[in-house]
């Protein structure tokens, strides 16, 4: 493990992404300590105030402090990213492992299901699902999770198709190990490296989807702050309150950039074909 972290430290791309991710995580975790402003507190005397010494990122159309709202919105975005990716990984691992291990009709049925899901425009499927179930934090995490497992399923299927022919799997079968034990104990632990990269990149994608939904008014609903709904409020005041669009937009950009850098660097470390 120490060697792995030393490798990340020596990889400038992975280390830069890790520093960004860690910084965003710590800011979200300590948000109540980093600001004295209540993100939901309305101050009609300071509506659309420009950034100053009291309000570092200005105020919105209700006089709420944008700095505190951006900090607390990081919690929402990270929750959506981690939980939705966790759901997609569980579904993808299950479907990919069953398809790759059993093959035959099981593989055909599960992969055709995957192809059908891939053929549907994901964002429009999410929009339709949110419109049907209603915009709530739980629904958004669930919907993003169950509409983004296809890549992981294909990835795991390919890994298990090659790994199940290895000698250690043959030995496990000879010893009478059950199929579920072979999959969980022997195959999955040896095929998870590419999943780590996919999961990290998936968090960035989930944050973008949640921000897009909130910007369209179908995501996290006010007064709960999210980067998307702060951007939505800034859209109507872009000409007189640039800070309402700039700061949450930069938060999304930096966070997604961090996860993409870390995922790219991690892929370079885990894939021997990319090592020089």
Architecture in CATH of 11-31+58-274: Orthogonal Bundle (1.10)
* pTM of the predicted structure, to 2 decimals: 0.88
Look at residue 100 in the predicted model and tell me its pLDDT: 92
DSSP string, 21-90: HHHHHHHHHTHHHH--S-TT---GGGTTPPP-SSSTT-B-TT--BHHHHHHHHHHHHHHHHHHHHHHHHH
Residues of the chain where predicted confidence (pLDDT) is lower than 70: 1-4, 271-276
- The angle at the Cα of 256, spanning 54 to 91, to the nearest 5 degrees, equals 125
**Given its phi and psi angles, is residue 235 left (phi above 0), alpha (psi -120 to 50 degrees) or beta?**
alpha
Look at residue 221 in the predicted model and tell me its pLDDT: 84
Q: How many residues are present in the chain?
A: 276
Q: Where are the domains of the chain?
A: 11-31+58-274
> Residue 91 is encoded by which pair of tokens?
């579904």
């Amino acid at each position: 493990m120490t060697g792995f972290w030393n490798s990340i430290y020596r990889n400038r791309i992975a280390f830069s992404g890790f520093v960004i991710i860690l910084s965003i995580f710590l800011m979200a975790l300590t948000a109540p300590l980093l600001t004295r402003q209540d993100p939901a507190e309305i101050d009609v005397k300071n509506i659309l105030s420009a950034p100053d010494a009291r309000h570092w990122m200005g105020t919105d159309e209700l006089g709420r402090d944008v700095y505190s709202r951006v900090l607390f919105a990081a919690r929402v975005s990270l929750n959506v990213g981690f939980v939705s990716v966790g759901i997609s990984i569980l579904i993808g691992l299950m479907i990919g492992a069953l398809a790759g291990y059993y093959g035959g009709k099981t593989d055909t049925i599960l992969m055709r299901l995957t192809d059908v899901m891939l053929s549907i425009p994901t964002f429009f499927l999410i929009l339709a699902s949110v419109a049907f179930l209603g915009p709530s934090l739980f629904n958004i995490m669930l919907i993003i999770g169950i509409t983004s497992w296809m890549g992981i399923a294909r990835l795991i299927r390919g890994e298990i198709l090659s790994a199940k022919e290895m000698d250690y799997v043959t030995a496990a079968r000879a010893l009478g190990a059950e199929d579920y034990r072979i999959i969980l104990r022997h195959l999955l632990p040896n095929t998870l490296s590419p999943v780590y990269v996919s999961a990290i990149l998936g968090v960035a994608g989930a944050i973008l989807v949640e921000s897009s939904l909130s910007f369209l008014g179908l995501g996290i609903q006010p007064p709960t702050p999210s980067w998307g709904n702060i951007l939505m409020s800034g859209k109507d005041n872009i000409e007189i309150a640039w800070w309402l669009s700039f700061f949450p937009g930069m938060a999304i950009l930096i966070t997604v950039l961090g996860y993409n850098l870390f995922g790219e660097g991690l892929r370079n470390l885990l894939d021997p074909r990319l090592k020089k």
